[in-house]
């Protein structure tokens, strides 16, 4: 059966003005991370708070690639990394997944095609891993003493139409659908409903915002479902499985109970991760 193991975003946009609110950094990196990402507090415990690993590989089956995230979120990535390093006196920051091999030793900022964050995350040790959007929030806070309230959202419509958006968390999906012609047309069809492909949860566009789930949306009625490559793996929808969008029927889609996989707070699969997550019933 035909599968699409990785579908890149066909376009990426910022449809609304970026929202930033005044905020100060906490005294230490650990305190700041706990303040910015309270749901991941337990996940950060035991990490080496003198080092950060910023990964641009999202681990998602569709959405923007590493280069697109860099271009969208970081006009000057090196300056952002330097600001964070200096603010917290870090021993180093590794920027992983951008496909370049160079190291700026004097500034203690390294760039590598693929970092050690996956292996370190499974061991529960090593540097503190952050996604690109998370690092954007941290860098904005360090440079401007303001907090960015933006989130990343990708929408699968068909293999040739996968728009991605960086938009305020306060916006509802209805506002996003109204700002984009393709999404507006899909949302205007009563037979098609937006849902989270990892859990099967159907969104209410009038109430739910872009941060309501995994950061991914699929419209029902499109003829595609999300499935792991190896369906015998325990712990769907995560725990190390490789995922793909494939042609399928709506009968294959259902809501999955919470398995504490951390998908709602961390868009990369981590093994042995236990976090307080919302149960979907």
What band does 137 get if pLDDT is binned at 50, 70 and 90? very high
User: Vertex 59, ends 58 and 63: CA angle to 5°?
Assistant: 60
- The number of distinct structural domains making up the chain is 2
Strands 146-148 and 150-156: unpaired
What band does 3 get if pLDDT is binned at 50, 70 and 90? low
Domain boundary among 108, 125, 148: 148
Domain boundary among 101, 118, 148: 148
For the segment 52-57, the average pLDDT, to the nearest whole number, is: 87
Q: How many residues does the chain have?
A: 281
- Do 41 and 118 lie in one domain? The reply is yes
281 in a structural domain: no
- Do 113 and 181 lie in one domain? The reply is no
pLDDT in tens, 218-261: 998 888 877 665 544 444 444 445 667 777 766 666 555 555 55
Between these two residues, 40 and 4, which has the higher pLDDT value? Answer: 40
- Do 136 and 37 lie in one domain? The reply is yes
Domain around 174: 7-13+151-252
Dihedral pair phi/psi, residue 74, rounded to 5°: -135, 90
Domain boundary among 91, 125, 148: 148
Residue 191: CATH number of its domain = 3.10.20
260 in a structural domain: no
- Do 140 and 163 lie in one domain? The reply is no
- Do 199 and 137 lie in one domain? The reply is no
- E strand or H helix at 190, and its extent? none
For the segment 11-17, the average pLDDT, to the nearest whole number, is: 91
- Do 85 and 157 lie in one domain? The reply is no
169 in a structural domain: yes
- Do 26 and 130 lie in one domain? The reply is yes
CB distance 188 to 163 below 8 Å: no
- Do 161 and 213 lie in one domain? The reply is yes
Considering just the CA atoms, what is the radius of gyration of the chain in Å?
19
Q: Is the dihedral of CA 200, 204, 207, 211 positive or negative?
A: positive
178 in a structural domain: yes
For the segment 30-43, the average pLDDT, to the nearest whole number, is: 88
CB distance 10 to 159 below 8 Å: no
- Do 32 and 123 lie in one domain? The reply is yes
Nearest-10 Cα torsion for 100, 121, 138, 79:
-20
- Do 183 and 84 lie in one domain? The reply is no
- Do 42 and 144 lie in one domain? The reply is yes
Q: Kindly report the pTM of this predicted structure.
A: 0.79
202 in a structural domain: yes
Strands 11-13 and 163-168: parallel
pLDDT in tens, 61-78: 888 988 899 999 999 998
pLDDT in tens, 179-230: 999 999 999 998 899 998 877 888 999 999 998 878 899 998 888 877 665 5
What b-and-e string marks burial along 186-203, b requiring 16 or more CB atoms within 10 Å of the CB?
bbeeeebbbbbbbbbbeb
What band does 46 get if pLDDT is binned at 50, 70 and 90? confident
- Do 30 and 135 lie in one domain? The reply is yes
Nearest of 207, 230, 24, 28 to residue 128 by alpha carbon: 28
What band does 262 get if pLDDT is binned at 50, 70 and 90? low
């Amino acid at each position: 059966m035909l599968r699409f193991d990785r579908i890149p975003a066909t376009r990426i946009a910022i449809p609304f003005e970026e929202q930033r609110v005044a905020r100060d950094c906490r005294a230490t990196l650990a305190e700041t991370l706990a303040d910015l990402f309270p749901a991941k507090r337990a996940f950060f415990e035991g990490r080496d708070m003198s080092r950060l690993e910023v990964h641009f590989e999202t681990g998602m089956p569709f959405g923007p690639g590493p280069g697109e995230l860099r271009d969208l979120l970081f006009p000057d990535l090196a300056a952002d990394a330097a600001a964070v390093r200096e603010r917290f006196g870090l021993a180093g920051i590794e920027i992983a997944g951008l496909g370049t091999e160079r190291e700026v030793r004097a500034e203690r900022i390294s760039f590598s095609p693929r970092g050690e964050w996956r292996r370190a995350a499974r061991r529960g040790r090593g540097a503190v891993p952050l996604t690109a959007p998370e690092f954007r929030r941290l860098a904005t806070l360090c440079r401007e003493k303001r907090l960015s309230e933006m989130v990343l959202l990708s929408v699968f419509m068909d293999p040739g139409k996968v728009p991605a958006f960086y938009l305020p968390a306060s916006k509802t999906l209805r506002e996003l659908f109204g700002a984009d012609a393709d999404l507006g047309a899909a949302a205007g069809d009563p037979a098609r409903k937006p849902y989270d492909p990892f859990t099967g949860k159907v969104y209410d566009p009038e109430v739910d915002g872009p941060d309501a789930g995994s950061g991914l949306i699929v419209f029902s009625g499109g003829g595609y479902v999300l499935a792991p490559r190896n369906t015998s793996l325990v712990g769907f929808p995560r725990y190390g499985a490789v995922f793909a969008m494939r042609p399928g029927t709506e009968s294959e889609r259902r809501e999955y109970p919470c398995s504490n996989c951390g998908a709602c707070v961390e868009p990369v699969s981590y093994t042995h991760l236990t976090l307080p997550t919302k149960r979907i019933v």
